[in-house]
A and B are shown apart, each in its own frame.
Chain A
Amino acid sequence: MSTVTTPDTAPAPAPTQTSSQRSSTSRFTEAAANYIDERTSISGVVKEFGRKIFPDHWSFMLGEVALYSFVVILLTGTFLTFFFQASMAEVVYNGSYVPLKGVEMSTAMSSTLNISFDVRGGLLIRQIHHWAALTFIAAIGIHMLRIYFTGAFRKPRELNWVIGFILFILALAEGFTGYSLPDDLLSGNGLRIIDGLIKGLPVVGTWISFLLFGGEFPGTDIVGRLYSLHILLLPAILAVMLALHLVFVVVHKHTQWSGPGQTKDNVVGSPILPMFAAKAGGFFFIVFGVIALMGTFFTINPIWNYGPYDPSPVSAGTQPDWYIGFADGALRLIPPGLEFELWDRTWSFNIIIPVLILTGLIVAVLVYPFIEAWITGDKREHHLLDRPRNAPTRTAIGVAGVLFYAALWGAASSDLIATHFQLSIEGVIHVNQALLILGPIVGYLVTKRVCLALQKKDREIALHGFESGRIVRLPGGEYIEVHQPVDEYERWKLVDYNDYQPLMIRPNAQGKITSVQRLRAGMSRWFFEDRIAPVSPKEIERGGHH
């Protein structure tokens, strides 16, 4: 293993020996590596990580996109901390932007304007930071969808799913705290909605709000507090979770698609060192480049338009960044009037109901791997991915979830949908309310049927090959269409998947059937009642003689 001798932590070349021949350089590398290894035993780690194999499939690189955009965020964010002042002390703006000259605003807003107009490269870095943040969370989202729809969360990776989902929530928190820092009109209104959301919680709401804002909203504390969270606490937790997430990826080995030579006991691909590391390094710069292009050519969060926060004005089209949109949408979709008066106060459920629904959604996603494991009763380790069609119920649940989220998300832009398609905003809201309920149901049913149909098609192709379109007349006068059989490599992909069957209800040691047993059997039936069994070798043999 030659890779062991080249840890990437090798120090800079020694001052005296660099000018001599090649052999002395490699001797130096060797000596330096040995020096470090003797003192840190790093070779073991390098061997483990360096020999980690990455299979080649585009969908396996989505997590990397998230990682790289996080690096971009860290780099640009550090630059921004040099110039941003997280204070809500009032100052009179006197910078370069004419339409805000002489306007009173917080130091946070004025320093953000200075970053945008008076710090060299400041606006570019600010925009890269913000675009990178949007890309980061979008990449996490699409990475999670990949993991879900391929079943990569199954044993032994359930805990890593949980860690990954916590990373997602942390990223949302990072995004929202960052969005609120400039103290502009848009972010201030966003904070006001959060304040309302908190105050809508029964009994404790007002207390929590006062604790958070240091008194009545908006107060003079919130920006400083959010800043501590944004640059200190949340990134620290995020970094630790991220490290843990990556360690688990190495420990579990990478999942892969089923194929000839690709089994549950191996991983086929290129090792990190040197091949994958080079590729990934290049990919980092590609991601960085795409984000930098967005930051260069497209305005994001033009705080100079929004102006300083003032509790009285609210702009039309005030929305949170896309990743909080689902929460905003939930507040827009809840039907009005869910409140009554009892004793001396109004009991309002307009806020708590959407909050509970969203919490339920988040918890459901968090614990999904455990629920599915319990339903299937499958205790085996899974290192081969499912094609989405081969797990019809899971795929259908996923599509239903995506549609539910999409209806909430779409509702957050109801006003813009109304103006841009010349519809009435009430109509848009009502359609979204219907979609929120009907979309997942219809999506579930349709997806499940589509998956089963695709499985049937796969089965047909595995057994009889493709229709070639060539009609042959036999000597006896009979016409047949010649089918082109699939080769064995292709067939492998079509037939290699798990076949589950509904669990049978069995009495326990006391000879009783518990209600938990019944529930589990019912769920299992729901999952696996409709299924297409994979083609067995015997069937292929018989099919071959057709």
Chain B
Amino acid sequence: MKRVVKRVKRMARKGSTANRRHPLATVALIAIGLMFTGGGYALFSSTATAETSTASQTTIDEGKKLFAANCASCHGLDLQGTGAGPSLLGVGAASVDFQVGTGRMPMAMQGPQAMEKPPQFTAEDTEALAAYVASLSPGPAVPDDSLLDGDGDASNGAELFRINCAMCHNVAGAGGALTEGKFAPALTGVAAVHIYEAMVTGPQNMPVFNDKNLSPEDKRDVITYLKYIEKNPSPGGYELGSLGPVAEGLFVWIFGLGAIVALTVWLTAKSN
């Protein structure tokens, strides 16, 4: 997108110096260019339209200061990225809110992946950072509360979750292993807004589930399902971490058979 904009500028400059084109050609070209980029962007992300309109200039300035002090050493002063961290142009407010809001950013250290930890910034600071990053280039916005209420179709959400998410996060959202020490984290106790933002932005090893792939309604259903299993503990009793047969097998050997063997020892013990 950046490249397209540059080309448009270059062409515009050439047009104005040579004076060989209609005075309105520049305007028309810019309009066409904007339509292409805007339209193309809309194809990829239909929620992008609602973004950043509310962020005031003071918030953005505040975010800029915070960014320069806390993030720029890795991500660059102009968000362009450095050897230590990727460019943040186009990641949007949603990405910042997810990474900073869950404590993954700033990272404590380089590792297979950024670990979740207590957030390092207050909610206002996180918002300011998000507003600043979003002000420089368009990207996915923080989702609307109506998508996060967990009142969607749990059954549809469960099916989507099994098909799209369970291979890494486990059917019950208990998490799972990836390659080279990376992992898909457990989803219990994760805020709805962060689940949504993760789907939209695809943090770290996670793929992006854009709105063509899973519509905002579908994402709402997935959140509904995850919140359902979080709020309704297993009807069968304690879940043993929802880890499946491995946990069950360990439990039966250690506690089940352990208890029974202890009882056999007790039964055959000689009375004192």
Contact = CB atoms under 8 A, between A and B. Distances in A.
B134 interface: no
A419 B236 contact: no
A322 B246 contact: yes
B261 A321 contact: no
A310 B178 CA distance: 22
Contacts of A296: 237
Contacts of A315: 162, 166-167, 170-171, 176, 244
Nearest to A101: B155
Interface of A: 56-59, 61-62, 65, 98-103, 116-117, 123, 127, 131, 134-135, 138-139, 142, 185-186, 279, 283, 286-287, 290-291, 294, 296-302, 305-307, 310, 312-323, 325, 412-416, 418-419, 422-427
B163 interface: yes
23 contacts: A59-B264, A65-B257, A98-B154, A99-B155, A99-B158, A123-B235, A131-B252, A134-B249, A135-B256, A138-B256, A139-B257, A142-B257, A185-B166, A186-B171, A297-B237, A300-B236, A300-B248, A302-B234, A307-B158, A307-B162, A316-B175, A317-B174, A416-B243
A297 B259 CA distance: 15
A416 B177 contact: yes
Given A103-B155, A315-B167, A321-B249, 17 more contacts: A65-B264, A99-B155, A123-B235, A131-B256, A135-B252, A138-B252, A286-B263, A290-B259, A312-B163, A313-B162, A315-B176, A316-B184, A317-B170, A317-B246, A319-B245, A320-B245, A325-B249
B264 A123 contact: no
Contact of A279 (B168, B170, B261, B267): B267
A425 B159 CA distance: 28
A283 B179 CA distance: 48
B256 A307 contact: no
A408 B159 CA distance: 33
Question: What 10 A-B pairs have minimum CB-CB distances, sorted nearest first?
Answer: A316-B176, A322-B249, A299-B236, A424-B181, A415-B177, A134-B252, A58-B264, A99-B158, A99-B154, A315-B171
Interface of B: 112, 154-155, 157-159, 162-163, 166-172, 174-181, 183-184, 225, 228-229, 234-240, 242-246, 248-253, 255-257, 259-261, 263-265, 267-268
Given A103-B155, A322-B252, A317 B268 contact: no
A297 B166 contact: no
Contacts of A306: 171
A57 B257 contact: no
A457 B112 CA distance: 51
A58 B261 contact: yes
Contact of B168 (A62, A134, A286, A316): A316
A314 B167 contact: yes
A135 B167 contact: no
A319 B240 contact: no
B166 A316 contact: yes
A62 B166 contact: no
Contacts of A412: 246
A325 B32 CA distance: 62
A321 B184 CA distance: 23
What is the interface of chain A mostly: helix, strand, loop, or mixed?
helix
Contacts of B172: 302, 305
A84 B163 CA distance: 27
Contacts of A286: 260, 263, 267
Contacts of B157: 99
B237 A298 contact: yes
Nearest to A68: B260
A322 B253 contact: yes
A447 to B, nearest CB: 21
A415 B178 CA distance: 8
A291 B225 CA distance: 32
Nearest to B176: A316
B228 to A, nearest CB: 6
A319 B175 contact: no
Contacts of B251: 294, 298
Given A310-B162, A316-B170, A317-B170, A287 B229 contact: no
A322 B260 contact: no
A287 B177 contact: no
B155 A138 contact: no
Contact of B260 (A290, A305, A416, A426): A290
Contact of A102 (B155, B167, B225, B246): B155
Contact of B256 (A134, A314, A318): A134
Contacts of A139: 257, 260
B256 A294 contact: yes
Contacts of B265: 58
A134 B248 CA distance: 9
B19 to A, nearest CB: 61
Nearest to B234: A299
B212 to A, nearest CB: 19
A186 B181 contact: no
Given A57-B268, A139-B260, A425-B179, A317 B243 contact: yes
Contacts of A302: 172, 234, 236, 239, 242
Contacts of A291: 256
Most A-side CB within 10 Å, residue of B228, B242, B252, B253? B252
A301 B251 CA distance: 13
Given A98-B228, A419-B175, A322 B180 contact: no
A319 B247 CA distance: 10
Contacts of A62: 261, 264
A310 B164 CA distance: 13
B236 A65 contact: no
A113 to B, nearest CB: 11
Contacts of B257: 65, 135, 138-139, 142
A299 B239 contact: yes
Contact of B181 (A123, A310, A423): A423
Contacts of B162: 185, 307, 310, 313, 315
Nearest to B185: A419
A414 B177 CA distance: 9
A418 B184 CA distance: 11
A322 B158 contact: no
Contacts of B236: 116, 123, 127, 298-300, 302
Contact of A424 (B166, B179, B228, B246): B179
Contacts of A422: 181
Nearest to A412: B246
B237 A299 contact: yes
Contacts of B264: 58-59, 61-62, 65, 283
A302 B235 CA distance: 9
